[in-house]
Amino acid sequence: MHPPELPPPPDAPWQPLPARGALFAAAGSGLGMALMLGMACALLMLVLRLPQALLAILAGIAVGALIGAWFGWRRHRRTFWQLDAQALAVRRGHLWHSESHVPVSRVQHLDLRRGPLQRAAGLATLVVHTAGTRMNTVAIAGLEQADAERLRDRLARQLDHDDAL
């Protein structure tokens, strides 16, 4: 009896997202955090009835925008993807690592999304819908448009090939 063979090493290296997408990630996260912190400061000022409410709310918005932008930028720069013959993999995070592997056999369908700002920057979001209920979609935002189209086409080809078997 022979021990099972190890799988071959991946044939594709981990690919980073393009740097210009970090600006969009920073803007989106900064806006979200600014709104949350601004509303939290407004609520706190209403409850405490402090006289400098407007100044505190504006400070909360500014601090939220800066912190959110920093987190969004870092999250984008710490996201990598890889496609090999068996699966699409996405790796995210610095302190808390997250790695998702989507076997090609689990892919149901693929979406390519490009908003007006993404189109202007040559970026796209690839959404991979999978079979099952837990983590049934994997989205990679901020991909180079050519990479997103290539990934979609390659996954679709592999999916069509698997369906034909």
Phi, psi dihedral angles at 87 (to 5 degrees): -160, 160
- Residue 163 CB neighbour total at 10 angstroms: 8
- Which pLDDT score is estimated for 7? 46
- 144-164 pLDDT per residue, tens: 999 999 999 999 887 666 555
Phi, psi dihedral angles at 140 (to 5 degrees): -120, 100
Positions of the chain with pLDDT lower than 50, given as ranges = 3-4, 6-9
- Which pLDDT score is estimated for 132? 75
- Which pLDDT score is estimated for 49? 85
- Which pLDDT score is estimated for 9? 47
For the entire predicted model, the pTM comes to 0.79
- Which pLDDT score is estimated for 2? 52
- Which pLDDT score is estimated for 161? 62
Q: Which amino acid is at 163?
A: D
> Residue 35, CB half-sphere, CA atoms under 13 Å: how many?
5
Does residue 140 contact residue 129 with C-beta atoms inside 8 Å?
A: no
